[in-house]
């Protein structure tokens, strides 16, 4: 197993969050992954922590996550991923689903 850690931002912190409960998307199967999003005091940063069964792709993960973070700018957010060898296509899909739920949960 490979453990990867990244930090992005800091981003501007938007209005105080209403609902700080965590959200989870995805299933840890072969070629799939689960993504947990939680709030934390990070001075506006996005922190990502990945545990993956496929080693040697930290560059790929960083590129995908950087693009995601630049686009979403989720301040004070911890993203934790358990990965079963998902391709970037699947990772991006789940990130998009997670982002949608996170925004619905927190920006209403």
Partner 1 sequence: MLLEEKIWDTLLRNKRSRLERASHITSSKIVHHDDVVRLFEAVIESGDKICVEGNNQKHADFLSEQLTLVDPKKINGLHIVQSNIALSTHLDIFEKGIAKKLDFCYSGEQGVRLGRLIKENIVEVGAIHTYLELYSRYFVDLTPRVSIIAAQSADKYGNVYTGFNTEDTPPIVEATAFKNGLVIVQVNELVDEVPRIDIPSDWISFVVKAPRTHYIEPIFTRDPALITEVQILMAMMVIKGIYEPYGINRLNHGIGFDTAAIELILPTYAESLGLRGKICEYMSVNPCPTLIPAIESGFIKNIHCAGSELGMEGYITARPDIFFNGPDGSMRSNRAFCQLAGHYADLFIGSTLQIDVEGNSSTATLNRIAGFGGAPNFGSDSRARRHSSKAWLMAGRESMRPEDATMPRGRKLVVQIVETFKEKMQPTFVERLDAWQLMDDFKLDLPPVMVYGDDITHLVTEEGIAHLHKCKNLLEREQAIRGVAGYTPVGLARNKNQVESLIARGIIQRPQELGVDPRMATRNLLAARSIKDLVNWSDGLYKPPKRFRNW
Partner 2 sequence: MKIESVIGIRESTARERVLAILDSETFTEYLPPAARVFSPHLKSLGLPVSFDDGIVIGEGSIAGQKIFIAAQEPGFMGGAVGEVHGAKLTGLLERAALKKPAAVVLLFDTGGVRLHEANAGLIAISEIQRAMFNARKAGVPLIVVSAGANGVYGGIGIISRCCDYIVITEEGRLSVSGPEVIESQKGVEEFDARDRALVWRTMGGKHRYLIGEAQMFVNDSVEDVRNALVQYFNKPIPINIDSVMEEHQRLGERLSQYGKAEDALDIWRDMGITNPEDIPSLDFEAFMKIANQVRKNG
Site of interaction with partner 1 (CB under 8 A)? 31, 54, 57, 59-60, 63-64, 85, 87-90, 92-93, 96, 100
Instruction: In angstroms, give the least distance from the CB of 70 to partner 2.
Output: 26
Could you tell me which of 64, 73, 83, 75 has the C-alpha nearest to residue 2?
Answer: 83
Q: Rounded to whole angstroms, how far apart are CA atoms 75 and 32?
A: 26
For residues 21, 43, 100 and 24, what is the CA-based torsion angle, rounded to 10 degrees? -40
Q: CB within 8 A of 43, min separation 6: which ones?
A: 10, 76
Residue number with CB closer to partner 1 (20 or 60): 60
Residue number with CB closer to partner 2 (21 or 60): 21
Residue number with CB closer to partner 2 (39 or 92): 39
Piece in contact with partner 2 (CB under 8 A), picked from 6-14, 41-49, 79-87, 99-107: 79-87
Tell me: does residue 36 bind partner 2 (CB under 8 A).
yes
The interface partner of residue 49, options being partner 1, partner 2, none and the CB cut-off 5 to 8 Å by kind, is: none
Residue number with CB closer to partner 2 (38 or 62): 38
Q: Rounded to whole angstroms, how far apart are CA atoms 9 and 32?
A: 27
Task: Classify strands 46-52 and 77-83 as parallel, antiparallel or unpaired.
Answer: parallel
């Amino acid at each position: 197993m490979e453990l990867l850690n990244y930090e992005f931002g800091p981003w501007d912190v938007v209005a105080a969050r209403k609902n700080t409960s965590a959200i989870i998307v995805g299933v840890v199967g072969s070629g799939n992954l689960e993504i947990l999003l939680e709030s934390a005091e990070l001075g506006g940063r996005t922190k990502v922590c990945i545990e993956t069964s496929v080693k040697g792709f930290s560059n790929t993960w960083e590129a995908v996550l950087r693009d995601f973070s630049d686009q979403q700018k989720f301040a004070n957010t911890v993203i934790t991923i358990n990965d079963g060898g998902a391709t970037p296509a699947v990772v991006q899909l789940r990130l998009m689903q997670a982002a949608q739920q996170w925004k619905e949960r927190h920006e209403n």
